[in-house]
Structure 1
Amino acid sequence: MTRTLSRPERIAWVRLARTPRIGPLTFHRLIARHRTAAAALEALPRVSNLTAPPAAQAEAEIDGVEALGGRLIACCEPDYPPLLAQLDAPAPVIAVRGDANLLKQPTVALVGSREGSGAALMFAERVAADLGAAGLTVVSGLARGVDAAAHKGALETGTVGVLAGGLDHPYPPQNQRLHDMICERGAVISEAPLGAVARARDFPRRNWIISGVSRGVVIIEAALRSGSLITARAAAEQGRDVMAAPGSPLDPRAHGSNALIKQGATLIENAADVIAALGETRPPLRPHSIGPLFESETPPPPPGLPGKIRQLLSPTPIHVNDLARLLETPAGAVAAALTELEMNGQAASLPGGYAASAGAAFG
């Protein structure tokens, strides 16, 4: 059930979300156990040696976002992006500047090479414009190249940019003017705290948000080792449609997107192909919840389980339920063990019920 938080509740929510070594998975487990963020904060010293930021810091972030013309939206609130909210362990709070209602409309992400060819840039801009005219909200990552072209194409009808850093640190600097125009005519969102400067390890999280708020993802020129392929992989795991535009086999910038088509991604040549692939209804979400992840009363994880999970973790995100399958252990027990690991600084939880080795979270 969604509800709007009062200011004291919002302050507590932000404090818990910004506590070091508390990622989305641990956050949601604490809420499930203690019912409110305030109660979880009160219990925190009894269950760990973690210290939440002071209330004044949370208030400063809330007020700072509002001073930019934005607001912080908790995942329990009605204005939170609906598709993102359906995933396991969604980002506890996101900052939004602009029209958050754009994310309640049908959405599709267009992403691709930062060094896109002229043909790819023109194609991205044209397809984005046509999708916008058809009533879809185009989402992208505000990067150079294909992302910027997609935003420009959909600027008149409303586009959403997802940042890797805080709302006050758009990246890259050369897209500042585009960023400002999107804030006026569309929306910019970020999971990162206000003041956070984007680092390389933050971009995969941004990519998971891009696919998480979208019904489908279109890849336009992506090399074999490309952040766009991370977005495509996240989209597939989230139950989103994955589409790709074919490129020249002689151009390394198209090898990744061509490989996606070989692997089953829908080949698209225009906006009509994208609309046809999305169909009339929302795509079904991946059935992550093979077991309850956030029971209010969860027994401690079996001895040795945290160590086994730690050995399986790497910088590459893996979903809790995939760990459960590998270990032949209930998902709730795996989630409990991950909470223990994260609080000890030995793992990081990520939006959507994913986990990775320590260092994959903001901080």
Structure 2
Amino acid sequence: MNSIDFAISELEAMKKKPDFLFYKGNTDLLYRRKVSIIGSRKPYQYTQQMTHAIAHELSRVGTCIVSGGAMGVDAIAHRGAGSANTIAVLPCGIDLRYPAVNKSLLGSIETEGLTLSQFEAGFAATNWSFVVRNELVVALGEVLIVTQADEESGSMRSVEYALEMGKKIYVLPHHIGESEGTNRLLAEGKAEAIYDISMFVGRFGKVRSAIDVSDPFLRFCAMRPVYEDAVQKYGEKIFEAELNGVIEVQNGRVVLT
């Protein structure tokens, strides 16, 4: 189990900055542009689709997605981003994959992305540790996206952290009577709705046109492979694509431009 004293400015926004964090995975993700996505553990189908789309499109422009590894919106956000482009903040010891239903997902993130915890190995999640986890999720993101939340939910407590930290908050537009927590935020002018995913994602990077699915090389690069693996598979074609601006190398991985 590894631990590190992370010298990143985002943690300064917390009420009590952790002295160190336990981690598994790629700490380079901490120094990428990051967006936090949270929401209900029982999202509507609309919420599921939009959460996945937002996370996926943000990852395509090089933005790392931060969430809490929980069921529902959290898991969908992690999957939408892809394991190599996401940070899961745990409410338990770094050695525990909680909740069990997300065991496989968290294992993939440990290997390809990054899991973080403020808690010693073996520590089981408690009511208060979820609150601590939520503050760290919010602190790490440049902005907070809440795709669905009822009043008095854990997500709305996270919103309080975001407001205290001066973070911009974004939500999905929902019908009256649905996701009443986020609808209230809109009514009170505390959040901005995402009406167009492409326009929103454009604030974080260049939005690419659709990938030519008939080209296996572009499909391969869209998976953000490790640079050495890409060179081994495609050789000179990788160098040519980099020179022509088709790809970039970010943190040791190939990224389509």
TM-score after normalising by structure 2: 0.75
For 2:83 and 2:60, locate their aligned partners in 1 and report how far apart those are by CA, in whole Å.
Answer: 9
* Aligned residue in 2 for 1:259: 184
Of all paired residues, the percent bearing the same amino acid is: 27
Count, aligned residues: 205
List runs of 5+ in structure 2 lacking aligned partners.
Answer: 206-257
Three-state SS of the structure 2 residue aligned to 1:207 is: helix
**Contact kept in structure 2, 1:215 and 1:278, CA below 8 Å:** no
* Aligned residue in 1 for 2:4: 73
Range 152-161 or range 270-279, more displaced: 270-279
Three-state SS of the structure 1 residue aligned to 2:166 is: coil
- 2:85 aligns with one of 134, 137, 158: 158
**Contact kept in structure 2, 1:82 and 1:103, CA below 8 Å:** no
Three-state SS of the structure 1 residue aligned to 2:76 is: helix
- CA gap of 1:202–1:273, structure 2 versus 1, over 3 A, is farther
For 2:40 and 2:150, locate their aligned partners in 1 and report how far apart those are by CA, in whole Å.
Answer: 7
**Contact kept in structure 2, 1:131 and 1:271, CA below 8 Å:** no
Q: Structure 1, residues 113-133: CA drift from partner, whole Å, max 9, x if none?
A: 001111111111111000000
- 1:268 aligns with one of 171, 190, 194: 194
Whether 1:109 and 2:40 are equivalent positions in the alignment is no
* Aligned residue in 1 for 2:75: 148
Give, in angstroms, the shift of residue 157 of structure 1: 5.0
For 2:48 and 2:123, locate their aligned partners in 1 and report how far apart those are by CA, in whole Å.
Answer: 29
**Contact kept in structure 1, 2:37 and 2:144, CA below 8 Å:** yes
Q: Structure 1, residues 15-54: CA drift from partner, whole Å, max 9, x if none?
A: xxxxxxxxxxxxxxxxxxxxxxxxxxxxxxxxxxxxxxxx
Q: Structure 1, residues 49-92: CA drift from partner, whole Å, max 9, x if none?
A: xxxxxxxxxxxxxxxx1xxxxx2012xxxx44431145554111
**Contact kept in structure 2, 1:128 and 1:151, CA below 8 Å:** yes
Whether 1:204 and 2:116 are equivalent positions in the alignment is no
- CA gap of 1:105–1:177, structure 2 versus 1, over 3 A, is same
Letter in 1 for 2:4: I
Give, in angstroms, the shift of residue 269 of structure 1: 2.8
* Aligned residue in 2 for 1:126: 53
Q: Where do 1:215-226 residues align within 5 Å? A: 215-226=142-153
For 2:135 and 2:114, locate their aligned partners in 1 and report how far apart those are by CA, in whole Å.
Answer: 17
Whether 1:184 and 2:111 are equivalent positions in the alignment is yes
Give, in angstroms, the shift of residue 270 of structure 1: 4.1
**Contact kept in structure 1, 2:57 and 2:201, CA below 8 Å:** no
**Contact kept in structure 1, 2:13 and 2:139, CA below 8 Å:** no
For 1:180 and 1:80, locate their aligned partners in 2 and report how far apart those are by CA, in whole Å.
Answer: 26
Three-state SS of the structure 1 residue aligned to 2:102 is: helix
Give, in angstroms, the shift of residue 171 of structure 1: 1.4
Whether 1:242 and 2:169 are equivalent positions in the alignment is yes
Give, in angstroms, the shift of residue 143 of structure 1: 0.7
Range 134-143 or range 242-251, more displaced: 242-251
For 2:100 and 2:181, locate their aligned partners in 1 and report how far apart those are by CA, in whole Å.
Answer: 27
Q: Structure 1, residues 295-347: CA drift from partner, whole Å, max 9, x if none?
A: xxxxxxxxxxxxxxxxxxxxxxxxxxxxxxxxxxxxxxxxxxxxxxxxxxxxx
**Contact kept in structure 1, 2:93 and 2:119, CA below 8 Å:** yes
**Contact kept in structure 2, 1:216 and 1:278, CA below 8 Å:** no
* Aligned residue in 2 for 1:348: none
For 1:161 and 1:99, locate their aligned partners in 2 and report how far apart those are by CA, in whole Å.
Answer: 12
Q: Where do 1:45-84 residues align within 5 Å? A: 65=1, 71-74=2-5, 79-84=6-11
For 2:77 and 2:132, locate their aligned partners in 1 and report how far apart those are by CA, in whole Å.
Answer: 20
For 1:111 and 1:239, locate their aligned partners in 2 and report how far apart those are by CA, in whole Å.
Answer: 17
For 1:277 and 1:225, locate their aligned partners in 2 and report how far apart those are by CA, in whole Å.
Answer: 31
Three-state SS of the structure 2 residue aligned to 1:217 is: strand
Larger radius of gyration: 1
Three-state SS of the structure 1 residue aligned to 2:21 is: strand
For 2:8 and 2:71, locate their aligned partners in 1 and report how far apart those are by CA, in whole Å.
Answer: 25
